[in-house]
Amino acid sequence: MRGRDILLPVKILFIGDIVGEPGRKAVRVLVPRLKLSMGLDVVIANGENSAGGSGITPDTACEIFAAGVDVITTGDHLWDQKEVSQLLLEEARFLRPANYPPGTPGQGSMLLQKEGLAPVGVINLQGRTFMAPLENPFLAAKKEVGRLQSMARVIFVDFHAEATSEKIALARMLDGRVSAVVGTHTHVQTADEQIFEGGTAFLCDAGFTGPHKSVLGRDIDPVIKRFLSSQPQRFPVSKEDVRLQGVVIEVDGASGLAQNIQRVSIPLNEI
């Protein structure tokens, strides 16, 4: 029976950057309902802004996992909360970008195994264009994909990057070798969801999960004041128009190739 089960499709929900308590609430309320209504098998979420809008802590990660998220990915705000060290050292379901230098605590990829499902490889990478100069994500991607391919046909990549060209180029390089490449970081959901010729699903940016009556999740007025005055401001997390944004991808369990991709943007009060 297990061999037959492995051939079943795998339905993955990837959640764009969770911002602060409003974003965590959206995950807490909506994910259990979406798992039932959409028949989700795997839930992956970028959680790097889940603690007060910047960074992540063991407590916020625990809340996200308890809502039904299987894997948490991160990005350039990984180090904003000092408590993240505990997650990096102790939590196997927590990823940081794989293109950090050797010896960095934590892991950049993992193999998720759930009963009755094909194994799912998950890779977290960070871009270098307009961002901190980590090691080459293209070389790291080749290395991690090569390692995971011996264990899983279904492979999901969260590429946390600023430049659209960098995201598209990495996805094109991996076309046919991974199931999906989805971008994070800009907090603006793009409308370019597609499945490439080789069978890899792609979305340039999944958007963000949190308050959308805002500037990328933050209160509007202080951000405007910062642009007007060029003086430092505090940017509290906003609270209104909370949405869960991301993408649902259905993958053939035998080939690891994507069969369908659908963007989601769900208001907290909709279901």
Q: Return the SS3 of 205.
A: coil
CA 47 to chain centre: 7
CA 197, 198, 199, 200 dihedral sign is: negative
Pairing outcome for strands 71-73 and 258-267: unpaired
Q: Are 127 and 137 in contact (CB under 8 A)?
A: yes
| Helix 20-38 / helix 58-66 crossing angle, nearest 10 deg | 20
Q: What is the residue-level pLDDT of the chain in tens, covering all 271 positions?
A: 344 444 689 999 999 999 999 999 999 999 999 999 999 999 999 999 999 999 999 999 999 999 999 999 999 999 999 999 999 999 999 999 999 999 999 999 999 999 999 999 999 999 999 998 999 999 999 999 999 999 999 999 999 999 999 999 999 999 999 999 999 999 999 999 999 999 999 999 999 999 999 999 999 999 999 999 999 999 999 999 999 999 999 999 999 999 999 999 999 986 5
Identify the structural domains of the chain with CATH numbers, from first to last. Answer: 2-267 (3.60.21.10)
Active site (catalytic) residues: 77
